Amino acid sequence: MCFSATASFTAAAVLAPAGVISLGRAWRGDRRYLALAALPLLFSVQQLLEGLVWRAGEAGDLAAVTRYSLGYMFFSWLAWPVWVPLATYFIEPPHRHRLYLLFAILGGFLGGLQYVPYFAHEDWLVTRFLSHAISYGGTELLGLVIGREFTYAIYLLVIIGPLLLSSSKDAKVFGVLVSIVFVMTYLFFTFAYISVFCFGGAIMSLYLVWRPFSSSRGRHEPPGGRPRPWT
């Protein structure tokens, strides 16, 4: 697979309408899935930002590269570790909410420690352009304290764990798809881990357009066929 500005912009163009469709299906079906259904649309924004990183790099505009890279890494370090646990929180029964809040808090703590220092240390985020990928590297606060491998293990835990532990079959399937992306990235694309993992996750999020909301109606609608209100 070739990664480029074209690939990122194409992914953004596909994911944006897919996300709108996904949200519409959740709104008409089971509104507890709205946050999960928003993932393709959010991934679209992230892929758009990476396309802009490519374009800024091609133009030699280092300030723009930094600006768009910070936008991209906001999703990587903060949005996904918080949004995914909370999105799963809403579709779980009340007695499991505490577990998913703990995932979200851990994700926010992890993401904040990794992302916020970029603004205090401008040289900590280093964007390198490879032949067919972008490598987002540099200095990571937790990497200095507990090591990069352990940091990424926690990161994967707070993103994939809530999906795999979910009582929703569809959330579990999405978690398995993201896990497959992780394995493929680890085996073949470690040189550009963040970029490739997020790109793969974005493509896998297309699953959410078709599966969770139509199939969840029978499980979550009360007698009479009317969807439960958003709670």
pTM of the model: 0.84
- DSSP lists the bridge partners of residue 1 as none
For residue 23, what pLDDT is reported? Answer: 92
For residue 213, what pLDDT is reported? Answer: 55
What value does the mean pLDDT of the chain take?
85
> Is residue 90 scored above 90 in pLDDT?
yes
Domain chopping of the chain, boundaries: 5-220
> Is residue 73 scored above 70 in pLDDT?
yes
For residue 180, what pLDDT is reported? Answer: 87
For residue 202, what pLDDT is reported? Answer: 83
- pLDDT, tens digit (0-9, with 9 covering 90-100), for 4-26: 899 899 999 999 999 999 999 88
Q: Is 129 helix (H, G, I), strand (E, B) or coil?
A: strand
In which region does residue 60 sit, left (phi positive, over 0), alpha (psi from -120 to 50) or beta (all else)?
left
Cβ–Cβ < 8 Å for 230, 39: no
Ordered alpha helix ranges (H), the chain: 5-28, 34-37, 39-59, 62-73, 80-91, 97-115, 117-120, 141-145, 148-164, 169-188, 193-204, 207-210, 212-220
For residue 193, what pLDDT is reported? Answer: 67
d(CA 176, CA 160) in angstroms, rounded, equals 8
For residue 187, what pLDDT is reported? Answer: 67
For residue 211, what pLDDT is reported? Answer: 62
- pLDDT, tens digit (0-9, with 9 covering 90-100), for 108-129: 999 999 999 999 998 999 999 9
Q: Which two tokens stand for residue 157?
A: 């835990």
> Is residue 95 scored above 60 in pLDDT?
yes
For residue 220, what pLDDT is reported? Answer: 44
